[in-house]
Amino acid sequence: MQEYLTNLGISQEVFNYLIMPLLIFIARVGDVSINTLRIVFVLNGKKFMAPLLGFFEALIWLLAIGQIIQNINNPLSYIAYAGGFSMGIFVGMTIEEKLAMGRVLVRVITPEPMHDLMEYMKEKGHRFTTVGAEGRYGRVQLLFTVLKRDTLKEFIGKVKKCNEKAFYTIESVKKISEDDFDLMEDKRKFSTRFLSLIRK
């Protein structure tokens, strides 16, 4: 190994204290990013993608920890390992946010019915349910709907436009009725978004 590095013009010190920590950092960013996405896939019930990501996650982790053991006396390896872990969480969350996978349950509570919002939802083809309820200050209207995450930002913007003081909550949805929603359409859109994200 030393002879190969010398032929490339790289000293052992440069490799141990610069290149190897950098490789450990990159590997850790990769495996933690995959781990973050794998958890999201599990929560969304993706039974095939989650195990596949788990395989690559474990493989990259073994490579990284193997290099740590080989360079156990190098403190930069530990820093690179911890730094890669932190960065991997950030990268994984960013990728997941860009993919905007799955669906969410949205509840909107207002004192008065939001007719403009309901008309908007009908135009967009969103299914929803409204019920009367009792709040702290009297009667309120409660609207339920399940949306694709990539349409959530536009929907919340419409809610605020109709009533800027509207109270709303958002929750992830693990599973939905196949009769009501086209799950195959979701899979195609996920593939398209994932490939477009890679190209960037």
Ranges of the chain whose pLDDT falls below 70: 1-8, 44, 100, 178-200
Per residue in 178-196, is it b (16+ CB within 10 Å) or e — as a string? eeeeeeeebeeebeeebee
Instruction: Report pLDDT for 106.
Output: 92
The pLDDT, as a whole number, for residue 29 is: 92
What pLDDT, on a 0 to 100 scale, did the predictor assign at position 135? Answer: 81
SS (H, E, C) the chain: CHHHHHHCCCCHHHHHHHHHHHHHHHHHHHHHHHHHHHHHHHHCCCCCHHHHHHHHHHHHHHHHHHHHHHCCCCHHHHHHHHHHHHHHHHHHHHHHHHHCCCEEEEEEEECCCCHHHHHHHHHHCCCEEEEEEEECCEEEEEEEEEEEHHHHHHHHHHHHHHCCCCEEEEEEECCCCCCCCCHHHHHHHHHHHHHHHHHC
**Fold of the CATH domain 103-172:** Alpha-Beta Plaits (3.30.70)
Q: What is the pTM of this model?
A: 0.62
Q: What pLDDT score was predicted for residue 196? A: 54
